[in-house]
Amino acid sequence: MRLLFAIKGLVIAGGGAERVFVEVVNALSARGHEIHVATFDHPDQELFYDVAPDIRIHLFGAGEPGVSTPRSNIPKIMRRIRKLAADIQPDAAAAFMHSTYVPVAAGLIGSGVPMILSEHTAGAHFAGRPLEKALTRLVQKLSFAKTVVSPIIKSEHAPAFHRNLIVLPNPVDMNAFAPAREIAPDKVILCVGGLRVEKDQESLIAAFEQIADRHPGWKLRLVGDGTTRPQIEAQIARSPVAGRIQLPGVLKDVPAEYAKAAIVAMPSRYEALPMVAIEAMASGRPVIGFSDCAGAAALIRNDVNGLLIDPANGRVTALAEALETLITDEDLRRSLSRQAPDTVQSYSLDAVVDRWETLLQAAASNNRNAVQQMADETGSV
C-alpha cells in the first residue's frame, strides 16, 4: 500500500505519541509499504527521531516546535495536505493527535482518500475545551475510522461514536528494553516525560523531599523537557535535597535510563496509554501511578507490576508513601520487576503493527464491515 501519515512535529523530542508514530511508520515501511510522512515542521529543520531512510518526508513549514499551531496557518496545512494527497495518491491516510488530525482530515474532505484519526490523549484533556472536543467529533464522523489507545479511553466517548472507534494500543519494541532485566539497577527513582502541567513532576519532587532524609543513597531523575521547566528548576533550587535531584533534559537512549532505575514514577494527572509505563514494565521495572489517571489504571496491576495509588488523601502524601514502600521492601520490588514484562506482551510492536496493517487495508478497500468488526472486537478488551 501507499500510505500517508501525518503528525504535528518530529524535530524536537515530543511525548509518547511521537515515538509511537515513528515505530509504526518504520515497521510498516519494513513490511514493504510505501510510506510518506507529513509534518508541520520547517524544511530546514533536522528531525529528532530516526525515521527509516526509505520513508519520504514532507515538511509543511506551518508550525514551530513545542508551541500551538497558529490558527492562521490552518488553511495552509489544509491546502498542503490536499495537494500532497493529489500528488502521491495514497491508498489511505492516518494522522496522529487531534492537533494534527483535525486540519488534515478537513483538508482531505472530498479527496477520496480514506482517513484514519489516531488519538493519544485522555478525555480529561478536553475539559474546558468545548471547541476542540466538537471538532474532534465532527471529523470523526467524516472519517473512515478513529483509534484510541485503550478501552478506558473508548468508554469516554459517547456510544454514538463507537461505530468506527477502534482500540489500538501503543506498541513497544520489547527487544530494545529486555536487556535491562539482566542489569542490577542503581538507587534511582526515574520519571520520563514532557515537563508539562498534567505530568505533575512538582508533586513527585515534593514527595521525594518527604522521604529523602530517611534514604540517603537514593536519587530522583527527571528526564524530559517542556513548558514547566522554569518552575521545576526553581523548585529544585529551593529543595533541601537539590543535589540528589537530576534534570538532564531530553535523552535519546531511553532504554539505558530504565536500566539504571530501580523504580519508575508516573505522577501524571491524566494520560491515555503512557509509553513510559509500558517501556518500564518491559524493562522489568515497577511503576507507580495514580488510580484516577486512565493510562495508569489501564496498565498498572497493583502489587503485580507496580503500585496503583489513590490520590484522595493528597497526591504528594500518596506518592511519598508508595516510594517508601518500594524503597524499603526489596523483596516486593524484585517481585514486581519479575512479573512486569509478562503484563505488557500484548503491546509488542509486531502485534500492534499487525492491527494497524489490518485497519489500513480495510480503509484502502473501503471495507466498513471490517472496521465495524474491529470496533466490536476491541470494545470489550
**pLDDT, averaged across the chain:** 92
Question: How far is the C-alpha of 370 from the C-alpha of 358, rounded, in Å?
Answer: 9
pLDDT digits (tens, 9 = 90+) for 317-369: 999 999 999 999 999 999 999 999 999 988 889 989 999 999 999 999 999 89
Q: Which of the following CATH numbers is that of domain 2-171+348-378: 3.30.70.920, 3.40.50.2000, 3.40.50.300, 2.102.10.10?
A: 3.40.50.2000
What is the rounded average pLDDT of the residues 22-33? 96
| pLDDT number for residue 371 | 87
- Cα Rg of the chain (Å, integer): 21
pLDDT digits (tens, 9 = 90+) for 114-158: 999 999 887 777 888 888 888 889 999 999 999 998 888 898 888
| pLDDT number for residue 380 | 37
Question: How far is the C-alpha of 308 from the C-alpha of 281, rounded, in Å?
Answer: 14
In this prediction, residue 6 has a pLDDT band, given cuts at 50, 70 and 90, of: very high
In this prediction, residue 2 has a pLDDT band, given cuts at 50, 70 and 90, of: very high
**130: Cβ–Cβ under 8 A, 6 or more apart, which residues?**
none
What is the rounded average pLDDT of the residues 264-282? 92
Q: Is the model's pLDDT at 224 over the cut of 50?
A: yes
Backbone angles phi, psi at 13, to 5 degrees: -65, 125
Report whether 172 contacts 27 (CB < 8 A): no
Question: How far is the C-alpha of 23 from the C-alpha of 169, rounded, in Å?
Answer: 12
The neighbouring-strand residues paired with 245 are: 220
Superfamily of domain 174-346: Glycogen Phosphorylase B; (3.40.50.2000)
Question: How far is the C-alpha of 139 from the C-alpha of 47, rounded, in Å?
Answer: 28
Question: How far is the C-alpha of 376 from the C-alpha of 381, rounded, in Å?
Answer: 10
Angle at 138 between CA 166 and CA 299, to 5 degrees: 35
Q: Is the model's pLDDT at 376 over the cut of 90?
A: no
**Cell numbers standing for residue 62:** 506551518
pTM of the complete model: 0.74
Do 174-346 and 2-171+348-378 fall under one CATH topology?
yes
- Of 377 and 315, more confident: 315
Q: Which of 13, 26, 96 is nearest to 57 (CA)?
A: 26
Q: What is the DSSP letter of 40?
A: S
Domain boundaries, the chain: 2-171+348-378, 174-346
